[in-house]
Chains A and B, each alone.
Chain A
Amino acid sequence: MLKRAALIAAKDLRLAVGGGQGPVQAVLLGLILIFLFSLSKPLGGTISAQAAGAIFWLASAFCLVLVFNDLFSIEEAEGARFGILSSPAQTHSVWIGKGAAGFCLLVVSQLVFFPAVVAFLGQSVNGPSWLFFVSLFGGDIGLCVLGALLGALSQGQTARESLLSVIVFPLLLPVLLAGITLFAAAFSGEGVDAAMDWVGLIFAFDALFAGAGLFLFPFVYGAED
C-alpha cells in the first residue's frame, strides 16, 4: 500500500509542479493575505504574536483548500479515478499519497509564508525553535489528513471549491486554534510551559482525523457518481 501511495504522491507532485498554476496560486493567495493583514499594523508599531500566528495559519488554511482542489482535480480530467478504483490498489493508498503530496506542497508554501510573516508582521522566533517546528509539523499533519479526506468528498461536485471551504474550515478549527496558540508562544517566547497542553491537543486531533480518514476515505472516494 505504501509503495502505491508513494507512486501517487510522486505523480501528483510531478504534475502539480509541472503544471505550476495550482501551487503558485496557493502561495500567492497566502502572501496576499499576509500582506493585507500587515496593513492593519499601526505605523511604526508591531502586531501581536497571537495575531501573527493567526494570520500564518489562516494563510495556510486557504492554501490548503487550493492545494487539495488541485490534487483531486488531477484524476478528474480523463476519468483516472475509475482507473485507480478498478486497479488492485487499495483506496487508502490514494488518501496517503494525496495527503503526502499535499503535505509537501503546504510545507513549501509555508517556507514562503514564514519570511513574509517576519518581514511584514515583524515577528521572529523568540521562544524555543523546537516548539515552532513541532507546532508546524503537528498542524500540517492535521490540515493534510483532513484536506485529503475532504478533497475527495468535494470531487465531481460543481461547487467543489465552496463545498471544500465550507466543510473544511469548521473541522479545522481545533488544529488552527492549537497552531495559533503554539505559534504565539514560539514567536513571543512567553507561556511556553502552558502551551505544552496544546502540543498534546494538536497531535490528539491529528490522530482523530487520521482515524476518521482511514475509515471514511474508501466510502468517499469510491462513491458512485
Chain B
Amino acid sequence: MSGEPVLTVSKAAKFFGRKLVFKNVSCEVARGEILLLAGRNGAGKSTLMKIMAGLGRPSAGTVTLGVEPEKTAYLGHATFIYPGLTATANLRFWAGMYGLDITDEDLAAVLERVGLTRAAEEKAGGFSRGMAQRLNLARVFLVNPDLVFLDEPGTGLDSRSMAMMRNEIVSFRDRGTAVVWISHHVHEDSILADTVLAIGNRKVEYYGPASGYEPEAPSC
C-alpha cells in the first residue's frame, strides 16, 4: 500500500427521503489495499458501495476517485450476465462497453482463468450460480481494474467457488489493485482484509486495521 489513494470518501451521508442511512463516513483506499465493509443487514453497506462506485449520489459529503473510471469495476450479487448470450458473447459485449479491443486469445485466457473454457460457447442462461458469478469475474478480469468493488460476490456460491473467489481477491491485491469488499462472512474474510470499515447505528463504528477489528458473533 503506497502513494495517492485511489478512492477517498469524505464525510459522506445518505438519506432516503427523510430516513437517515448513515452520516459522516470518511475513508481512504490505497493501491493494493483490501477494505472490508462490515455491518449488519440494512446498515447501508451496499448503499455506501454504490456511492463509492458512482452508482448513487451521497446526500452530503464527497467521493473522489484517484483512477480513471475505465479502470474501475463493480461485481455485485447480481451477475450482470445476459442469459440469452453465450459466455464469449457476454464478454465481448462488456469488453465493447469498456472500449477494449480484445482478441480470441484474450477471451480464451480469461475464460480459462475462471474455469469456463468448456462452457465458452454455451448460453449463460444454463449456467449454475457459481458459473454465472465466475463469468462475472471474467468480465472484471478483462477490465484489468485499478479499483474493484465487490458487493457480496460469494452469495450463493459453493465452497469451491467461494475459495476461488477469495484467491482471486487476494491476487487482485498482489497485483496492486485496490479492493472494496462487502462480505457475508466477516469472520473469515476480515483475515484477508487490510482495513475494515464497520457501519452501525447510522455511523462509522470502526475504521482501522483489520487486525484490530472484532466482529460481532454471528447470530443464528
Query: For chain B, what secondary structure do more than half of its interface residues adopt (helix, strand, loop), or is it mixed?
Result: loop
Residues of A within 8 A of B132 (CB): 78
A3-11, A137-145, A158-166, A172-180: which one contacts chain B? A3-11
Do A83 and B94 form a contact, CB below 8 Å, given A18-B84, A88-B69? yes
Q: CA of A77 to CA of B70 in the docked complex: distance in angstroms?
A: 24
CB distance from B20 to the nearest CB of A (A): 16
> Whole-angstrom distance from the CB of B140 to the nearest CB of chain A?
10
- CB contacts (< 8 Å) of A85 on chain B: these are 54-55
Residue of B56, B68, B73, B82 most packed against chain A (CB within 10 A): B82
Q: Which residues of A contact B149 (CB under 8 A)?
A: 86
With known contacts A77-B83, A86-B72, A7–B78 Cβ distance under 8 A:
no
Whether A15 contacts B85 in the complex (CB less than 8 A), given A82-B76, A88-B70, comes out as yes
Interface string of A83-114 (1 = CB under 8 A from B): 11111110000000000000000000000000
Contact with A along B67-81 (1 / 0, CB 8 A): 011101110101111
Q: Considering residues A11, A78, A84, which has the most beta carbons from chain B within 10 angstroms of its beta carbon?
A: A78
Do A86 and B78 touch (CB < 8 A)? no
Our pick among A3, A4, A15, A89 for the contact of B84 (Cβ within 8 Å) is A15
Complex: how many Å from CA A83 to CA B54? 12
Structural contact, B69 and A83, CB atoms closer than 8 A: no
**Residue A193 is within 8 A (CB to CB) of chain B in the complex:** no
**Known contacts A14-B85, A88-B69, A80 near B96 by CB under 8 Å:** no
Shortest distance from the beta carbon of A80 to any chain B beta carbon, whole Å: 5
| Candidates B70, B80, B82, B96; contact of A4 at CB < 8 Å | B96
Q: Which of A18, A77, A88 contacts B98 (CB 8 A)?
A: A88
Tell me whether B3 is interfacial, beta carbon within 8 Å: no
User: What is the number of contacts between chain A and chain B, taking CB atoms within 8 Å?
Assistant: 73
Chain B residues, CB < 8 A from A78: 78-83, 132
Question: Is B218 positioned at the interface, with any CB of A under 8 Å from its CB?
Answer: no
Q: What chain A residues lie within 8 Å of B94 (beta carbons)?
A: 83, 87
Would A7 and B83 count as touching, CB distance under 8 A?
no
What chain B residues lie within 8 Å of A19 (beta carbons)?
84
- The secondary-structure label for the interface of chain A is helix
A79 at the interface (CB under 8 A from B): yes
Q: Which of B55, B72, B96, B97 has the most CB of A within 10 A?
A: B97
In the assembled complex, which residues on chain B have CB atoms less than 8 Å from the CB atom of A82? 55, 74, 76, 78, 80
Residue in contact with B82 in the complex, picked from A3, A80, A87, CB distance below 8 Å: A80
CB distance from A130 to the nearest CB of B (A): 37
Q: Does B53 contact A (CB under 8 A)?
A: yes
Contact of A74 with B by CB under 8 A? yes
A86 to B69, CA, bound (A): 8
Chain B interface (Cβ < 8 Å from any Cβ of A): 50, 53-57, 68-70, 72-74, 76, 78-85, 89, 93-94, 96-99, 132, 139, 149
A–B Cβ pairs within 8 angstroms, 20 of them:
A4-B99, A7-B97, A11-B89, A11-B93, A14-B85, A15-B82, A15-B85, A18-B84, A77-B83, A80-B78, A82-B78, A82-B80, A83-B94, A86-B72, A87-B94, A88-B68, A88-B97, A88-B99, A89-B99, A224-B57
Known: A14-B85, A15-B82, A224-B56. 7 other contacts (CB 8 A): A15-B85, A18-B84, A80-B78, A80-B82, A82-B74, A86-B54, A89-B97
